[in-house]
Amino acid sequence: MVVKGKEVKHFLTGNIEAEEIFTPEDFSDEHEMIADLAEKFVMNEVMLSLEKIENQEFTETIRLIKEAGDLGLIGADIPEEDGGMDLGKVSGAIISEKMAYGRSFSITFGGQTGIGALPIAYFGNKEQKERYLPKLLTGEKIAAYALTEPSAGTDAMGLKTSAKLTDDGKYYVLNGEKQWITNSAFADVFIVYAKVDGTQITAFIVEKGYEGLSTSPEEKKMGLKGSSTRSLILDNVKVPAKNVIGEIGRGHIIAFNVLNIGRYKMASTALGSSKRSIELAVKYANERKQFGNSLSDFNLIKQKIADMTIRTYANESSVYRTAGAMQNGFEEMKQTGEDYGKTIARFAVECSINKVMSTEALDFVVDEAVQIHGGYGYMAEYEVETIYRDSRINRIFEGTNEINRIIIASTLLKKYSGHSELNQIGNGPLERAKQTLKLMKDYYEATIQAIQKAGIDNLNKEQEVAAFLADLAIGIYRSESAVLRAEKAFNRSGEEKSSQKLDCAKIVVHETAQQCAIQGLNMAGYLRDDEAFLHAAGRLISSSTENIVETKRRISDRVIAAERYVV
């Protein structure tokens, strides 16, 4: 979604120009400074303590959170009036990306800056903000987010934790168990969701010192071994009534909107891990000799490096496009007086798209990085092995990718108006890619119409249809983001300086279009072989691009020469 004054353009139906989206090439001096600050903190402080962190020496984690707070990294995108630095959503994404190098520490940090502090920052009253935010933003106090339960994971509305008001009206008594709570071993403040009178989901600020609150032993996890993950036990915990965040019965609004922000921040962190995986893989491929040549001389290795780079480029383009749009939305909110909930909700689809796309891109990239390392990639002393294990939880965190697909599809189907404004494509090096992108958008419209003709309206039930529609929307968003970024770079710097972006964008569009068309053909029978739908799928699958083999070799050669992700 692009917001320009009062005009709202949707990426699926509107004509969006390259200059209307934010790209990493638009980073200001301030953005570059915050990137440098975050990177130096991770490389010079966190990386040196990784062994202690991975061994769960939590005193080291607590110390580093405090240092991050002193540097202003925790409150970077929190409003200045609430004690933050108000540097915007782009800066927040940059920091999350850089923190990825800190592996388990990035999860602790994300729990603090995102889902831990934001319920208070965005939905708390003045007294709550004044009482809790200053120490949370400096890292003196640490926050945890307690939503998941043993019988209610992604189904947040099914939570069982209860809250009952005392006769004098001064306290709520909370009872229940929260599961898999990040930062729980050392958190000072928990954001706990419970049902008042068994029906009204409500958010509470619960301090660790309250009587009846306890945590279980640490969970033994596949990855992220340095983060704290425990159950939170609430046994007749008396919470002051003034610690209710927002309104009684509106806690789910807080939960869902904070999770939207969490998804966008997670996408940024996954992007950082993808870049690190490429760097490790390429350096290893250059050093490792087989049959008298470096691994990076072999064309199948080059193909892997190219595919890793292409997916990361599309991921990066989408993440910062979303960050820029959200930053515009938050700035507009200050002028219009719209509340945080409504502002964040405007970007719910994009946040879910980024979460699904980024976490699945990372899993692909790090898997290929392990493959390039061969047997060494399976050994624990190699960093890529740790990233591989750590990455797997991301498709489960913040709502599973399956649930996020249903959210995307259900929202889009509900909002579809049947009106689009797609113009003809102009000339230039991306002409063919833009023609294919337009075919993808035509295909999206044909898909929606076929779904409606088939009488399908409950995507919670028709989940295969939901997944297909979501994948199509994700494919269009990532493809358009890649193309517009490359076009913007070409317009500013010419073809030679933007050649890597142009090559990546062409492949992104072509391969995404092919995948979406094949998925659609597999759905055709269930959608009653709708004629317009089949025609759109046929046009899409017959679209073509440049010489893919040569293009991918060019992409990989540039990355191999630089020994890191470059576009």
398 counts as catalytic: yes
Most confident of 1-5, 76-80, 491-495: 491-495
Residue of 205, 212, 151 lying closest to 180 (CA atoms): 151
Per-residue pLDDT at 173: 98
Rounded mean pLDDT, 248-253: 95
Residue of 33, 408, 364, 387 lying closest to 226 (CA atoms): 387
pLDDT tens for 27-60 read 999 999 999 999 999 999 999 999 999 999 999 9
Please list the residues that pair with 239 across neighbouring strands. Answer: 172
- Residues 6 or more apart in contact with residue 514 via CB below 8 angstroms: 540, 541
Taking 70 as the threshold, does the pLDDT of residue 82 lie above it?
yes
Lowest mean pLDDT segment, chosen from 2-16, 370-384, 546-560: 2-16
Determine, yes or no, domain membership for 75.
no
pLDDT tens for 189-207 read 999 999 999 999 999 999 9
Bridge pairing between strands 293-294 and 289-290:
antiparallel
**DSSP-derived secondary structure letter, 288:** -
Taking 60 as the threshold, does the pLDDT of residue 1 lie above it?
no
Backbone angles phi, psi at 353, to 5 degrees: -60, -45
DSSP string, 483-511: HHHHHHHHHHHHHHHTHHHHHHHHHHHHH
Per-residue pLDDT at 55: 95
In angstroms, the CA 377 to CA 361 distance is 19
Residue 279 Rama label (left phi>0; alpha psi -120 to 50; beta)? alpha
Determine, yes or no, domain membership for 223.
yes
Q: Give percent of the chain with pLDDT exceeding 90.
A: 88
Per-residue pLDDT at 206: 98
Taking 50 as the threshold, does the pLDDT of residue 4 lie above it?
no
Domain's final residue, options 209, 229, 249: 249
Per-residue pLDDT at 419: 66
Query: What is the pTM assigned to this prediction?
Result: 0.95
In angstroms, the CA 99 to CA 78 distance is 17
Q: Which residue has the tokens 């202690």?
A: 52
Per-residue pLDDT at 7: 47
In angstroms, the CA 285 to CA 276 distance is 14
- SS3 assignment, position 214: strand
> Residues 467, 470, 471, CA angle at the centre, nearest 5°?
85
Residue of 192, 194, 229, 225 lying closest to 208 (CA atoms): 192
If one counts the domains in the chain, the total is 2
Lowest mean pLDDT segment, chosen from 56-70, 74-88, 197-211, 245-259: 74-88
**Greater pLDDT, 268 or 415:** 268
Domain's final residue, options 205, 232, 249: 249
Determine, yes or no, domain membership for 463.
yes
In angstroms, the CA 395 to CA 547 distance is 33
- Residues 6 or more apart in contact with residue 225 via CB below 8 angstroms: 54, 56, 104
CB 104 within 8 A of CB 53: yes
Domain's final residue, options 249, 280, 313: 249
Structure token pair of residue 65 = 């959170």
In angstroms, the CA 67 to CA 44 distance is 12
* HEC per residue, 363-392: HHHHHHHHHHHHHHHHCCCCHHHHHHHHHH
Per-residue pLDDT at 5: 42
Rounded mean pLDDT, 231-250: 98
Taking 50 as the threshold, does the pLDDT of residue 6 lie above it?
no
Residue of 113, 107, 25 lying closest to 68 (CA atoms): 113
Determine, yes or no, domain membership for 92.
no
CA dihedral 514, 551, 319, 432 (to 10 degrees): -60
- Domain with residue 239: its CATH number is 2.40.110.10
Determine, yes or no, domain membership for 320.
no
Per-residue pLDDT at 545: 65
CB 542 within 8 A of CB 480: no
Average pLDDT, the chain: 94
Lowest mean pLDDT segment, chosen from 386-395, 418-427, 547-556: 418-427
C-alpha pair distances (Å), 561 with each of 240, 259, 302, 414: 60, 39, 12, 48
Q: Give percent of the chain with pLDDT exceeding 70.
A: 97
| Identity of residue 344 | I
- Structural domain of residue 224, as residue ranges? 143-249
**DSSP-derived secondary structure letter, 219:** P
Confidence of residue 544 (pLDDT cuts 50, 70, 90): low
Rounded mean pLDDT, 345-350: 95
Bridge pairing between strands 200-207 and 7-9:
unpaired
Per-residue pLDDT at 23: 98
Taking 70 as the threshold, does the pLDDT of residue 424 lie above it?
no
In angstroms, the CA 147 to CA 201 distance is 11
pLDDT tens for 263-316 read 999 999 999 999 999 999 999 999 999 898 999 999 999 999 999 999 999 999
Gyration radius of the chain over CA positions: 24
Residue of 484, 522, 500 lying closest to 566 (CA atoms): 500
In angstroms, the CA 137 to CA 379 distance is 38
- Domain with residue 506: its CATH number is 1.20.140.10
Q: For the chain, how many residues are written?
A: 567
Residue of 323, 384, 250 lying closest to 21 (CA atoms): 323
pLDDT tens for 160-187 read 999 999 999 999 999 999 999 999 999 9
Active-site residue identified among 398, 487, 511, 563 = 398
In angstroms, the CA 332 to CA 263 distance is 22
**Greater pLDDT, 544 or 399:** 399
Determine, yes or no, domain membership for 289.
no
Determine, yes or no, domain membership for 184.
yes
Rounded mean pLDDT, 483-502: 97
**DSSP-derived secondary structure letter, 68:** H
Determine, yes or no, domain membership for 152.
yes
Per-residue pLDDT at 8: 54
